[in-house]
Amino acid sequence: MSLIDPTQNALERAIQGASMRQQLLAGNLANVNTPGYGRKDVDFHAALRDAMTTGDVDAVSNAAFTPTTDTASVAADGNGIDLDRESAELAKNALDQQALVSVARARIETMVTAITGQG
Lowest mean pLDDT of 98-102, 103-107, 115-119, name the range.
115-119
The secondary element (H helix, E strand) that includes residue 89 is helix 83-116
**What average pLDDT does the chain have?**
92
- b or e along 56-89 (b: 16 or more beta carbons within 10 Å of the residue's beta carbon)? ebeebeebebeeeeeeebeeeeebbbeeeebeeb
pLDDT digits (tens, 9 = 90+) for 46-91: 999 999 999 888 899 999 999 999 999 989 999 999 999 999 999 9
1 domain residue, yes or no: no
Q: How many domains does the chain have?
A: 1
Determine, yes or no, domain membership for 116. no
Q: Which domain holds residue 36?
A: 6-110
Residue 115 lies in a domain: no
Name the residue among 51, 55, 61, 45 with its Cα closest to residue 12. Answer: 61
**Distant-in-sequence, close-in-space partners of 114: CB < 8 Å, separation ≥ 6:** none
Report yes or no on 69 lying in a domain.
Answer: yes
Residue 26 in domain: yes
Q: How confident is the model at residue 3 (pLDDT cuts 50, 70, 90)?
A: low
pTM for this prediction: 0.89
Q: Where is pLDDT greater, at 32 or 3? A: 32
Position 118 in a domain? no
Average pLDDT over residues 20-29: 98
Residue 117 domain flag: no
